C-alpha cells in the first residue's frame, strides 16, 4: 500500500534511538528494556497470529490512517493489525475489540477498523503485477502462474532487469524506491514445496534449500489456497545511484532487494526471452509495442500483445521487435 511506512531515504528523522540498548544475555531476559509480561507476551501474540498470513498481517499496519501511523509506536502498529485480523477472521467480534470489558479498556476504535475494511474492499478489484485484474469473484489468474504449482525461474543470475511500476492499495513488498529502477539479478531463489505438507516427528521435513512462500501481492488478500501463487523470487542488486541519483546516496554503494518474478521486466528497449514450464516462448518488455515480421522487412504490431507475451506454438517462424 502507498503510505507513510514507505520512508525509504528520508533523512529527516534525526538520530537513531536506543543504540545503547544492551544485548539479551542467555537466561537473563527476552530483551533488555522490554517488559516480559506485556511487551514480551504481546510479541508472542503478534508473532504467532501473524504466521497465519504474514503479508496480511503487514497490510494491517499499512491500512492505518497516515497521521496515526506516523504517531504510533511499533507495538501500536501491531496492535492495530492484530485487532483488524482478529475481526476479519472471526477470532473476535467488533464488540470484543471496541468496547470496555469489565475494568479493561477498549482495544481499538470502531472508526479505524471500519476505515481499514473499506480500504481493503477498494483493493479487491485492483490489478496486480503479472495477473492483471481479478475476475468477478475477485480471483486472480495468470497464463504463467498456477496456484499450487512451483514454477521454474525464467530469469538467471546476471540478467539486467527493471522493476515494474505499480501503485497499489494492496500490500506489496516491491517498495516505491525500487519501482521502475534497473538492477542486476544477483541470485535466483527457486521455489519448491515444503515436504511433507504435514510434518511430524516420524515424518520430518526434508530441507531442499528452496524458497516456499507465496507472492505477497496476492497472498495478503487472504483468499485461500486456490489463490496461493508460489512464484520464483530473485535477489536483485541495484546501484544506489540508480535508486537515488548521483549525489543523494553515499558513493560505492549497492542495495539488494528480493523481488518476485512478476515484479520484473526487461529494461526499456529490450525484450527478455524465456521458456515457461510448458516449454512455450515467453517475451517480456518494459515499454513499447511488440511488432512481428515474417521476413525482417514488413513489420506489423502484434494486436493486443501485452507483456508477458506467450508465443503460441505452431505459428510460422518470424521475428519480433519493439516499437518504442
Nearer to another protein, 71 or 293 (CB): 71
Residue from 104, 197, 298, 324 binding another protein (CB under 8 A): 104
Nearer to another protein, 17 or 303 (CB): 17
Say whether residue 210 binds another protein (CB under 8 A).
yes
Please report, for residues 82, 89, 128, 211, 279, the alpha-carbon distance to residue 116 in angstroms, rounded to integers and kept in the order given. 12, 14, 20, 31, 43
Angle at alpha carbon of residue 290, lines to 289 and 296, rounded to 5°: 125
H or E stretch covering 107 = none
Say whether residue 108 binds another protein (CB under 8 A).
yes
- Write down the residue that cell numbers 501491531 correspond to: 78
Please report, as residue ranges, which positions from 281 to 300 form the binding site for another protein (by CB under 8 A). Answer: none
Say whether residue 87 binds another protein (CB under 8 A).
no
Residue 2 neighbours by CB distance under 10 Å: 13
The DSSP letter of residue 138 is S
Residue from 180, 193, 256, 269 binding another protein (CB under 8 A): 256
- Write down the residue that cell numbers 510448458 correspond to: 278
Say whether residue 26 binds another protein (CB under 8 A).
yes
Residue from 88, 107, 115, 165 binding another protein (CB under 8 A): 107
Say whether residue 68 binds another protein (CB under 8 A).
yes
Say whether residue 228 binds another protein (CB under 8 A).
no
160 φ, ψ (degrees, to nearest 5) = -85, 130
**What is the smallest separation between the CB atom of 61 and another protein, expressed in angstroms?**
7
Nearer to another protein, 80 or 272 (CB): 80
Query: Cis peptide leading into 98, omega within 30 of 0?
Result: no
Beta bridge partners of 239: 254
H or E stretch covering 167 = none
Residue 14: Cβ-neighbour burial (10 angstroms; 0-12, 13-18, 19+): exposed
CB 291 within 8 A of CB 301: yes
Residue from 52, 94, 122, 205 binding another protein (CB under 8 A): 205
Say whether residue 204 binds another protein (CB under 8 A).
yes
**What is the smallest separation between the CB atom of 86 and another protein, expressed in angstroms?**
8
Residue from 2, 167, 248, 323 binding another protein (CB under 8 A): 248
Cβ-Cβ contacts under 8 Å for 19 (sequence gap 6 or more): none
How far is residue 190 CA from its own chain's centroid?
16
Say whether residue 7 binds another protein (CB under 8 A).
yes
Say whether residue 243 binds another protein (CB under 8 A).
yes
Residue from 53, 63, 83, 155 binding another protein (CB under 8 A): 83
Say whether residue 175 binds another protein (CB under 8 A).
yes
Say whether residue 96 binds another protein (CB under 8 A).
yes
Say whether residue 152 binds another protein (CB under 8 A).
no
Say whether residue 94 binds another protein (CB under 8 A).
no
**What is the smallest separation between the CB atom of 237 and another protein, expressed in angstroms?**
8
Residue from 235, 270, 289, 292 binding another protein (CB under 8 A): 235
**What is the smallest separation between the CB atom of 311 and another protein, expressed in angstroms?**
27
Residue 268 neighbours by CB distance under 10 Å: 14
Say whether residue 253 binds another protein (CB under 8 A).
yes
The grid cell for 213 is: 512462500
Residue 159 neighbours by CB distance under 10 Å: 18
- Write down the residue that cell numbers 511488440 correspond to: 290
Q: If we measure between CA atoms, which residue out of 220, 218, 217 comes closest to residue 55? A: 220
Nearer to another protein, 88 or 139 (CB): 88
Amino acid at each position: 500500500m502507498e503510505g507513510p511506512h514507505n520512508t525509504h531515504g528520508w533523512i529527516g528523522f534525526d538520530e537513531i534511538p536506543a543504540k545503547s540498548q544492551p544485548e539479551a544475555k542467555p537466561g537473563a531476559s527476552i530483551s533488555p528494556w522490554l517488559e516480559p509480561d506485556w511487551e514480551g507476551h504481546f510479541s508472542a501474540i503478534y508473532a504467532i497470529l501473524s504466521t497465519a498470513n504474514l503479508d496480511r498481517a503487514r497490510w494491517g499496519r499499512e491500512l492505518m490512517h497516515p497521521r496515526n501511523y506516523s504517531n504510533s509506536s511499533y507495538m501500536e502498529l501491531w496492535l492495530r493489525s492484530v485487532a483488524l485480523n482478529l475481526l476479519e477472521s472471526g477470532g473476535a467480534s467488533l464488540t470484543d475489540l471496541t468496547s470496555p470489558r469489565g475494568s479493561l479498556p477498549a482495544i481499538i476504535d470502531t472508526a479505524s477498523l471500519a476505515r481499514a475494511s473499506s480500504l481493503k474492499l477498494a483493493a479487491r478489484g485492483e490489478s496486480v503485477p503479472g495477473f492483471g485484474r481479478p475476475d468477478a469473484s475477485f480471483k486472480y489468474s495468470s497464463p504463467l502462474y498456477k496456484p499450487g504449482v512451483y514454477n521454474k525461474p525464467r530469469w538467471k543470475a546476471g540478467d539486467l532487469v527493471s522493476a515494474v511500476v505499480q501503485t497499489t492499495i494492496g500490500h506489496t513488498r516491491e517498495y516505491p524506491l525500487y519501482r521502475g529502477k534497473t538492477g542486476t539479478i544477483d541470485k535466483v531463489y527457486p521455489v519448491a514445496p515444503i515436504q511433507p505438507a504435514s510434518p511430524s516427528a516420524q515424518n520430518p521435513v526434508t530441507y531442499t534449500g528452496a524458497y516456499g512462500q507465496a507472492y505477497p501481492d496476492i497472498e495478503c488478500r487472504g483468499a485461500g489456497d486456490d489463490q496461493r501463487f508460489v512464484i520464483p523470487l530473485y535477489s536483485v542488486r541495484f546501484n544506489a545511484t540508480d535508486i537515488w541519483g548521483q549525489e543523494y546516496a553515499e558513493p560505492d554503494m549497492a542495495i539488494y532487494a528480493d523481488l518476485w518474478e512478476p515484479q520484473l521486466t526487461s529494461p526499456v528497449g529490450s525484450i527478455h526471452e524465456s521458456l515457461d514450464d510448458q516449454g512455450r516462448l515467453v517475451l517480456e518488455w518494459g515499454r513499447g509495442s511488440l511488432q512481428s515480421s515474417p521476413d525482417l522487412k514488413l513489420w506489423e504490431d502484434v494486436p493486443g500483445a501485452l507483456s508477458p507475451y506467450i508465443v503460441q506454438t505452431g505459428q510460422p517462424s518470424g521475428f519480433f521487435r519493439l516499437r518504442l
